[in-house]
Structure 1
């Protein structure tokens, strides 16, 4: 499986998991100059920005350990721009940043709410 195929598969698995738990899909692969957000969803009135991490195994590090502080900062900046484009104020708009970690070899998905 190519890296892109693995990423696409991971996003499909993550979206299905989140929709099963009541989140509403808004868009995938939001991109701006600062980076990309894998999934944007709503949980009631809360905007949820989701980083999907998909790996075939965890031999070197867990999937969650592979998320860097710099990556979190890029996602936060992208989310701010997204909210501005929606004409929403980031200071009063409820939002959170979740991670869905998928390990393909174990057919395992872990959803971490408010991860960063």
Structure 2
């Protein structure tokens, strides 16, 4: 299985988990040159931009430790463009950035609301 298909598999797993928690999917894999948002969801009035991270083994590096400053900036930029392209104000629209971290060993799914 390619790393892309592995990533897609775990994005669907994260999506199913978040839907079970009451969120609604708006869009998957919103891409711009140089950036991507894995999932865009709604949590009542909030627009939620979700980064999904997966690692087979959490003892090497936990998925939360993989998110670097440059990636955070790219995700924020993508979110601004998404809001703008949907006639939403980045200043007036309630939104947050969540992370879903998934590991295979040990099997764990961790949802961090308002992660950054």
* TM-score, scaled to structure 2: 0.95
Distance 2:32 2:112 in 1: 24
- Output the aligned Cα RMSD: 1.0
| Long gaps (5+) in structure 2 | none
CA distance in 1, matches of 2:104, 2:29: 21
Q: Distance between the aligned counterparts of 1:7 and 1:76, measured in 2?
A: 21
- For structure 1, which runs of at least 5 residues remain unmatched after alignment? none
Query: How many residue pairs align between the two structures?
Result: 116
Q: How does 1:43-58 map to 2 (within 5 A)?
A: 43-58=43-58
Q: TM-score, normalised by structure 1?
A: 0.95
**C-alpha displacement at 1:104, in angstroms?**
2.0
Deviation at 1:106, TM superposition (A): 2.5
In structure 1, the residue corresponding to 2:98 is in which secondary structure? Answer: strand
Structure 2 equivalent of residue 110 of structure 1: 110
Alpha carbons 2:47, 2:95 under 8 Å: kept: yes
Specify the alignment match of 2:12 in structure 1.
12
SS in 1 for 2:91: coil
